[in-house]
Structure 1
Amino acid sequence: MTTHIQHSRIEAGSHSSGPPCDALPLRQPGPGFDLLSGVRVIDLTTSIAGPSGTMLLADMGAEVIKIERPGGGDDARSWGPPFLDGESLWFASVNRSKKSVALDFSQPAGLDVLYRLVAQADIVFVNLSPRVATKLKVDAAALRAVRPDVIYVSITGFGLSGERADWTCYDLIAEGYSGIMDITGAADGEPQKIGAPAADMLAGQDAAFAAVTALYARRVSGKGRVIDVALVDSMARFSSCRIASYLGSGELPRRSGGKDSVIAIYQNFETSDHPITLALGNDNLWHRFWETVGQAELADSPGMKTNADRRRHRQAIVAKIAEILREKPRHHWLALFRGARIPAGPINSIAEVVADDALLGRGMFYQLARPGKRAMPQIGIGILLDGDCSLARSAPPALGEHTDEVLSELLGLDEEQRQALAEQNIIRRKGS
């Protein structure tokens, strides 16, 4: 790690041949975690939020059957560039270890097939507004009529009830509604969206967590549940500390470039070459910092003893620390602070993150081998079980890759029946 953080910043596009994923460890698909083995999930969702939630369940061992439109499939399949050999990398990031069935359930014959699959499922994920779900007959009431104990998971922008229930929403819209954009960005700058689909990913995680807890409760009660997750709610919860502070004090958080934490010194600083982050979260760290930089006497200066004192004098303290840190380069300060157990770190580019030996060692980034195709980059879930990281059971599926397998094995549809459905454009088969 020390060696890595002393490297100069790696610029995107600096790789002379092939994409950066070519440098990642290559893994073959394997059995993976089995904690949810025997659990079957029907995934009717598209884009990022729902697929990210069902992928978490797949990573934990559930069988996830992804139902897609025969024409184009999941919306995210077309999200690019960049593409890797014509495949969307956004789609690939949230769809491993799933089976793709291309099925048009807007037609009666297709809906019948879907209902037969739901009858054999434990959990169903849907990300349609209540009006559209009801129109397509995949609302909670319709699917619970098929299987009363099914766990129905809805992910929408605003929830299943209220005047906003049928309003359209994406991650960007949810971030705006939640307030997070208003407090993100430089003090004199515009509101900023978080640099990743945070509302989508948080809502997906909330949905997966709720689904598993409902599944656990069903073992005792035998009852299904209707789980209602909203992107705006998940994003507002993400801002809990800021919202609670406002509610209890009346002090409205403002954009500050991340330099207005309740912790007095908790921000980035420039060094003589690259910036670092520094977090002096308690009195012991405050004293250790000043001892480490050779100015121990400043720690007990008047008005500096408590965090509340230091917040009142934040501007002067920050100016003093900034003056000191600009004297030497990043690697000097990080090595020094690490030795003194003071929380500090680099501000890595994405290129540096994926080359981080510690993260690679924890299985966070790898290539997943695919027969006859280029390996696909994958990002781990960041959860180790008994010291092991998760292993994908299969690569993100091609559209309709498992249609024949699922309809044959689960529903007993023979070749003639499947071909008839294909000729009516109700299903799409592999290679068609």
Structure 2
Amino acid sequence: MSAPLPLEGITVLDLTRALAGPYATALLADMGATITKVESMKGGDSTRGWPPFENEHSLYFDSVNRGKSSIALDFYTPQGKALLRRLALASDVVIENFRPGVMADLGLDAAGLRAEKPSIVIASVSGFGSTGPLSQTAGLDQVAQAMSGLMSVTGKNASELYRVGIPIIDIYAGVFTAFGIVAALVGRERSGGGREVSTSLLEAAIAISAFQGQRYLSTGVVPEPQGNNHPVLAPYGMFATADIPIIIAVGNDKQWVDLCALVGDPQLSSEADFATGSLRLSHRDVLTARLELALAARPGLEWVEALRKARIPTGPIYNYQQVFEDPQVKHLDMVQHVTRADGTDLPLLRGPISVDGQALPIRKAPPALGEDTEAVLTALGLTAEQVAGLLASGIVKTAATQTVS
């Protein structure tokens, strides 16, 4: 892009591991922020050891660490703590997902950092929140899916509950954290002062409950899973055709009437049992059987084409191979190629946001552990001799020293 990216010039010290925090900082990197990922010399981010692998590369790690630099550091020596604090105070933003209290143990308590640098923004992601009876408890995505009610509305029925097939709560917590950071940066432009922003997996998971949580709060009705059907709209879900199942999503009465005409059963729309959205929901099983009887006349992709022409929302159910072969996905240029430090090619998903009509490029491949240690320290103002001393004393490591040690 010719114009500066929205967050160009913003520096972020990334102390997060796993997925929620790294997802947040990947989004910030997409927008132009400079992300310095500080990792323990003892293996780095835990996801570096998580499958799936391509040779020695964790694709789990690669998927959320685009656009970042990595410095490998001994967190718990006095020299390491002093260096970490210096890195923090040189940054606009510090983001962490340690257990509450660990930042203070590292000499990075929010009050101390803000006293020394009032403009700093500090962001935290935890499992259950920074206070309360579970604040010191480890939390992971599926635990949050379970405790937030999400699993209770996901599955075939009330006795067959499923987790979502991706770590959806980690991802949402990351998105919310990135939003909080950007909001704090905007506020800083007005007030001159930084803020502390935080969320947790549990809060993020409950926050996305939308009408399901609101249904219970307002009516006392406990929602149950509806399989592949929409919980409150019909017809809206997965339907069998002559060959493959497809998704049909009717959102209003006009689409309902048009659907009935399109499948060759126009009188269906005027039958008493299906006259309103509430009635269609009440008689959903009978309605689905009627529609699938008509849909059995043609292959699924033919129906998708016809439904799209009629402006009725629809689509096939893809596996990931089919996703990346889809013409619309290819047109959006979702997959970009970057070169890792070891020279290997990595096809990588870009971020989902475009600016001024342009998709944002991936500016740097996911880093090897300690790949940028020397560059980060030099940018911090250390001399070559000082960097060499830190390397020699084992306070920091580079990717090269990781390999030979």
Alignment of 1:257 with 2:227, yes or no, is: yes
Q: 8 Å contact 2:248–2:314 — kept in the other structure?
A: yes
**Partner residue in 2 for 1:190:** 160
- Whether 2:27 is the aligned partner of 1:52: answer no
Residue aligning to 2:13: 42
Report the equivalent of 1:117.
Answer: 87
Post-superposition offset of 1:146: 3.7
Matches of 2:2 and 2:47 in 1, distance apart?
26
Match of 1:67 in 2: 38
**Matches of 2:223 and 2:296, distance apart in 1:** 29
**1:349 is aligned to 2:319:** yes
Q: Quote the offset at 1:215 in angstroms.
A: 0.2
Aligned residue among 275, 279, 290 for 1:309: 279
**Secondary structure of 1:174's partner?**
helix
Mind listing any 5+ residue stretches in structure 1 that lack a counterpart?
1-29
Tell me the secondary structure at the aligned position of residue 303 of structure 1: helix
SS of 2:37's partner is: strand
Query: Structure 1 residues 260 and 63 mapped into 2: Cα distance closer, same or farther (>3 Å)?
Result: closer
Distance 2:344 2:327 in 1: 24
Cα gap change, 1:76 to 1:186, in 2 (>3 Å): same
Q: Partners in 2 of 1:34 and 1:260 — Cα distance?
A: 39
Residue-by-residue CA offset, 1:71-107 (whole Å, 9 max, x unaligned) = 2111111111x21231100111111111111112221
TM-score (norm 1): 0.89
The residue that corresponds to 1:423 in the other structure is 392
Q: Rate the CA distance shift 1:354–1:404 in 2: closer, same or farther, 3 A.
A: same
User: For residue 336 of structure 1, what is the aligned residue in structure 2?
Assistant: 306
CA contact (8 A) 2:36 2:68 kept: yes
Instruction: Give the structure-2-normalised TM-score.
Output: 0.95
- Taking the aligned partners of 1:320 and 1:385, their CA distance within structure 2 comes to 45
**Higher RCO (CA < 8 A, seq sep 6+):** 1
Counterpart position of 1:17 = none
Alpha-carbon distance in structure 2 between the residues aligned to 1:337 and 1:32? 41
Partner Cα separation in structure 2 for residue 32 and residue 198 of structure 1: 33
Tell me how far apart the structure 2 counterparts of residues 371 and 424 of structure 1 sit (CA, whole Å): 25
Pair 372,100 (structure 1): closer, same or farther in 2 beyond 3 Å: closer
Q: 2: distance between equivalents of 1:125 and 1:33? A: 23
Work out the CA distance in 2 between the residues paired with 1:32 and 1:97.
18
SS in 2 for 1:354: helix
Correspondence 1:79 to 2:47: no
Corresponding residue SS for 1:186: strand
Greater shift in the superposed pair: 39-48 or 168-177: 168-177
Residues in 2 aligned to 1:155 and 1:357: alpha-carbon distance in whole angstroms: 37
Q: Quote how far apart the aligned CAs of 1:263 are.
A: 0.9
CA distance in 1: counterparts of 2:20 and 2:264, whole angstroms? 49
8 Å contact kept, 2:157–2:226: yes
What 5-or-longer segments of structure 2 have no aligned partner?
A: none
The aligned residue for residue 180 of structure 1 is 150
Amino acid in the other structure paired with 1:419: A
Provide the aligned C-alpha RMSD in A: 1.7
* Deviation (angstroms), 1:149: 1.9
**Counterpart-to-counterpart distance in 2, 1:323 and 1:76:** 48
* Partner SS state of residue 199, structure 2: strand
Aligned residues of 2:15 and 2:96 also touching (Cα < 8 A): yes
Deviation at 1:258, TM superposition (A): 3.0
User: Residues of 1 paired with 2:151 and 2:289: CA distance?
Assistant: 27
Partner deviation per Cα, 1:238-277 (whole Å, 9 max, x = no partner):
1122111222222211122132521121110111211101
Give 1:371 shift: 6.2
Q: 1:84 to 1:146 in 2, by over 3 A?
A: farther
How many percent of aligned residue pairs carry the same amino acid? 37
